[in-house]
Amino acid sequence: MTETLKTAVVTGGSRGIGLGVVEALLDQGFKVFSLSRNICQQLNNERLVSIKCDVANESNQLDAFEQIRETTSRLDACFINAGVCGVSPLLEMDTDEWDRVLSTNLTGAFYSLREAGKFMRDSTYGGNIVACCSLSSFKPENMIVHYNASKAGLRMLVESGARELGPYNIRVNGIAPGLTKTDLIAGTENIPGYLERVAKRTPLGRIGEVNDVIPSILHLLSDQWVSGQVLIADGGLSLVTPTDPLE
């Protein structure tokens, strides 16, 4: 039986940017599978299937994608978004903290890319995969060396995936948000003047909101000709140099 309902997978879909993408895809008529450690309870929609999944656990992801395959024969879009962070000086960071971030942000993303790619290859539709790479994949920030490294690795995973999966009509791209108001930056409001300084250094004059990033992600999840690119969505923050004479 040929299925006409478009289908999407979103990892980390229970909060932040992932939740915003889930909601937007539902509004576009997709059936959406949300994979996250917490069940997505904020939305009530019969086309939303929330699967409890730790993306860093390979067995969890294999089971989740098998469950999806039992439900539908097509996968049109996948947003690889699940991520964690933490703050620690490089010289004081222990192996457990390094592994915690890399296992989710990079290894978990690899599992998602691999399984989504297999699914799209096996269907007759091809598809679009977008990974949340972060501005930190281009610009290293202090105290989060593990996060910087994981996102830089994810950026290369996007480019490598685009090369290998292109022959199957699968596009792979990335989105690189700047500082965005989500749970991931919880605690930064306690650093005196930090958010105000970032807003001042951003040409558009404020900190990003989830809804600022969603349109770019939706475009990449539907574009038929762009592949292997990472789009920076940061309000212009990455344009500011540390040696600005006006400062």
User: Is residue 147 annotated as part of the catalytic site, yes or no?
Assistant: yes
pLDDT over 90 (residue 125): no
Residue 57, SS3?
Answer: coil
Distance CA 163, CA 194 (A): 39
What are the boundaries of each domain within the chain?
A: 7-182+209-235
| Phi, psi of 228, rounded to the nearest 5 degrees | 80, 15
**Cα–Cα separations (whole angstroms), residue 33 to 67, 109, 160, 162:** 10, 16, 25, 23
CATH architecture, range 7-182+209-235:
3-Layer(aba) Sandwich (3.40)
pLDDT digits 0-9 by tens, 232-245: 999 999 998 776 66
pLDDT score of 23: 97
Catalytic residue, candidates 111, 125, 147, 168: 147
The yes-or-no verdict on residue 42 having pLDDT over 80 is: no
Is 101 strand, coil or helix? helix
pLDDT bracket for residue 1 (50, 70, 90)? very low
Per the structure block, which two tokens stand in for 157? Answer: 């995973």
pLDDT in tens, 174-192: 999 999 988 877 777 777 8
